Structure 1
Amino acid sequence: MRYFGRKIGFYLVALWGALTLNFIIPRLMPGNPVDILIAKLQEHGGTVGPHVRRSYALLLGTDTDEPIWNQYVAYLGHMAHGDLGVSVSAFPAKVSDVISQSLPWTLALVGLSTSISFVVGILIGTIVGWRRGTWLDSAVPATTVLAAVPYFWLALIFATVFASALHWFPLLGGYDVTLTPGWNAPFIQSAISHAALPALTIVVSSLGGWLLGMRNMMVATASEDYILTARAKGLRTSRIMLRYAARNAVLPSIAGFATSLGFVVSGSVVTEQVFSYPGIGSKLLQAVQNNDYALMQGIFLVITVAVLGANFVVDLLYGVIDPRTRSGT
């Protein structure tokens, strides 16, 4: 219990530190979201007085007349109550509404694609590492080369070939705009077809890394004494490979996979820009361009909680799967 107690305390402190940075960093950026919002209102012929300007500053949480410490305390209070504020770039929508509308698109695309590439890479890496020196092992560099290719370049090639030239997939967007979003067959089919090419790009670009990592761990694990002992006992090769070698070799990959899932939100920016895919990555870029403090802080909070939560789950799993980690910390 002391092990789990220390882990919980550590992640609570890490969450507080992340929230503090989340408060400070947007305020160090040049520009003022109130000026941007007022400029938008003036474009439509509106006039804004000093009292209205101060009201907007209070609404957006950027009141410079208040001491920074009071702003910080108010910010933590709003975070504790789940109040993420109002978005400038999507005014007057709440930040929580903007995130809730865009986050499912990112989770469905990047999360599912990352999971598929992890499972396929681990399975192939297990077989290749167990049968090192065969023709399968010699084919590994061909897959790892794709991991070194810049993602945006690979995405542009796929979009040019499979969407523009061959017309196998839709080029832009998340669904056919003529359809009504909802749980109906035409919309779901359209969303799947629009997500297929971005998902394929993510799987192809990340598959080689998982494969190579698992292959190297399998090679190292295969030379351990307990593997040699299992062979000497005459156990089936498939049982040795899966229950003894792969079970231990996959542990570092699980930690990497949890971190990758945590960074699914932040890693979707390039994907959504290349394919004009709706999601939280495009909202993050929009928030940066408009100095939308509240939306930036809300998205960063989602990223922070996702990364810390994924690592926390991995630490707990490590403590259950491998008791040595509990005694060694």
Structure 2
Amino acid sequence: MKFILSRLGFYLLAFLAAVTINFFLPRLMPGDPIQSFLARLAQNGGQISAETIASLEVLYGYSTNTPLFEQFITYVGSILTGEWGTSTRFFQPVFEVLGRGMLWTLLLVGCYLLVSYTITTLLGIYVAWKRGTWTDSVITVSSVVVSSVPAVVMALGMYFLFASNLGWFPTGYAYNPSIDAGWSFEFVGSVAYHLVLPLLCMVALGMGNVMGMRSNMINQLGEDFIVMGWAKGVKDKKVMMQYGARNAVLPMITTFAMSVGAIFGGSLIIEIIFNYPGLGQVMFQAMLARDYPLIQGYLLIMTVMVLGANFVADCLLFVLDPRLRTQLD
């Protein structure tokens, strides 16, 4: 319990530091969200008074007459009360806008984590067991080559090949707009069909984890308890899965937690290219409009997810690894 509380305290401090950066980072960007809004209004021939501009600055939490420190205190208070402000791009509460995109991003990222880490973990175990063979060479080289392709190149290549040219998959959105959203087989099938290409792209980019699992597994195969298992006549399959893989997978938990931020960053690019209506699309439009409240809300959600994933990983390692509990006793 002492270990859990100490880690929780550390992540709370990290969260406060991230909140501070989250507040100041958008304000270091060139441009002004209020002026951006006024420019869009002027393009349509609209004009508003100075008093209305001042009201907009108060509404969106950006005032040229209010010191940054006071704005920061107001911002921290709004986080604690759940009032994340109003989007200058969508003219809706930030939490509401992010909630719509969050559902699709969680679906995409959740399926990716389930599929990718299952495939890469099993392949890593297998090629480590078959190290030095042609199977090992083919799988490891292929995984490194595929995962080394930039996300933009991978996504654009799959989009133009499978969606635009061959027409095997849809070119955008999360489901067929002509289908009523609901728990029907037609709707679920449409969601799965639209999910395939972005998911395939992310899984391909994550194939580099095969090398990490392979390295962990090879290190475990040289341990004394593995040699003892062979000497006792334990079957190879049991030695591989229950002796070696059980311990080799522990570092992958930490790797998974540390990669959460990169996973969401990669999904942002993929969502934009495939026109998938997740948080990536929301963030892209927020950056174009200098929508400070929406950008801050997005970064806040990413911060909570990354810190939460690392905290869960620490707790899992404490439960699964008896060596860690022994060191702390």
Both proteins in one fold, TM over 0.5: yes
Distance in 2 (CA, whole Å) between partners of 1:41 and 1:148 is: 44
C-alpha displacement of 1:36? 1.6
The answer to whether residue 153 in structure 2 is matched with residue 145 in structure 1 is: no
Query: Structure 1 counterpart of 2:9, which letter?
Result: G
Match of 1:268 in 2: 267
Distance in 1 (CA, whole Å) between partners of 2:272 and 2:16 is: 31
**Partner of 2:277: helix, strand, or coil?**
coil
Distance in 1 (CA, whole Å) between partners of 2:13 and 2:326 is: 22
Query: Structure 2 counterpart of 1:110, which letter?
Result: V
Match of 2:69 in 1: 69
Tell me whether 100-109 or 259-268 shows the greater mean CA deviation. 259-268
Gaps of 5+ in 2: none
Q: Structure 1, residues 264-301: CA drift from partner, whole Å, max 9, x if none?
A: 43331210121111110111111111111100000000
- Confirm or deny: 8 A CA contact 1:111 1:261 kept in the other structure: no
- Confirm or deny: 8 A CA contact 1:263 1:307 kept in the other structure: no
Tell me whether 260-269 or 149-158 shows the greater mean CA deviation. 260-269
Match of 1:199 in 2: 199
Distance in 2 (CA, whole Å) between partners of 1:220 and 1:233 is: 20
Distance in 2 (CA, whole Å) between partners of 1:155 and 1:29 is: 28
1:125-204 alignment to 2 at 5 Å?
A: 125-139=124-138, 140-204=140-204
Query: Structure 1 counterpart of 2:301, which letter?
Result: V
The answer to whether residue 32 in structure 2 is matched with residue 32 in structure 1 is: yes
The answer to whether residue 104 in structure 2 is matched with residue 95 in structure 1 is: no
* CA RMSD, Structure 1 to Structure 2 (Å): 1.6
Query: Structure 2 counterpart of 1:106, which letter?
Result: T
- Confirm or deny: 8 A CA contact 1:262 1:310 kept in the other structure: no
- Confirm or deny: 8 A CA contact 1:107 1:264 kept in the other structure: no
Distance in 2 (CA, whole Å) between partners of 1:78 and 1:323 is: 42
Q: Structure 1, residues 202-242: CA drift from partner, whole Å, max 9, x if none?
A: 112212x1211111111111011111111111212211111
Query: Structure 2 counterpart of 1:255, which letter?
Result: T
1:213-228 alignment to 2 at 5 Å?
A: 213-228=212-227
Distance in 2 (CA, whole Å) between partners of 1:326 and 1:12 is: 23
Query: Structure 2 counterpart of 1:202, which letter?
Result: M
**Partner of 1:63: helix, strand, or coil?**
coil
Query: Structure 1 counterpart of 2:279, which letter?
Result: I
C-alpha displacement of 1:262? 4.7
Query: Structure 2 counterpart of 1:107, which letter?
Result: L
Distance in 2 (CA, whole Å) between partners of 1:156 and 1:41 is: 34
Distance in 2 (CA, whole Å) between partners of 1:203 and 1:253 is: 16
Query: Structure 1 counterpart of 2:265, which letter?
Result: S
Distance in 1 (CA, whole Å) between partners of 2:29 and 2:150 is: 28
Name the CA shift for 1:264/1:133 in 2 (closer, same or farther; >3 Å): closer
C-alpha displacement of 1:258? 2.4
Match of 1:56 in 2: 56
**Partner of 2:175: helix, strand, or coil?**
coil
Distance in 1 (CA, whole Å) between partners of 2:17 and 2:225 is: 43
**Partner of 2:212: helix, strand, or coil?**
helix
Distance in 2 (CA, whole Å) between partners of 1:268 and 1:53 is: 36
C-alpha displacement of 1:252? 1.4
- Confirm or deny: 8 A CA contact 1:259 1:311 kept in the other structure: yes
C-alpha displacement of 1:63? 1.3
Aligned length: 327
- Confirm or deny: 8 A CA contact 1:22 1:301 kept in the other structure: yes
Tell me whether 254-263 or 71-80 shows the greater mean CA deviation. 254-263
Distance in 2 (CA, whole Å) between partners of 1:148 and 1:29 is: 30
C-alpha displacement of 1:8? 0.9
C-alpha displacement of 1:186? 2.6
C-alpha displacement of 1:326? 4.4
Match of 1:299 in 2: 298
Q: Structure 1, residues 95-119: CA drift from partner, whole Å, max 9, x if none?
A: 0011100111111113312321111
Distance in 1 (CA, whole Å) between partners of 2:262 and 2:147 is: 17
Distance in 2 (CA, whole Å) between partners of 1:121 and 1:232 is: 29
Match of 1:47 in 2: 47
C-alpha displacement of 1:135? 2.7
Gaps of 5+ in 1: none
Name the CA shift for 1:35/1:267 in 2 (closer, same or farther; >3 Å): same
Distance in 1 (CA, whole Å) between partners of 2:145 and 2:253 is: 22
- Confirm or deny: 8 A CA contact 1:263 1:303 kept in the other structure: no
**Aligned-pair identity (%):** 40
The answer to whether residue 24 in structure 2 is matched with residue 6 in structure 1 is: no
Distance in 2 (CA, whole Å) between partners of 1:194 and 1:273 is: 14
C-alpha displacement of 1:319? 1.2
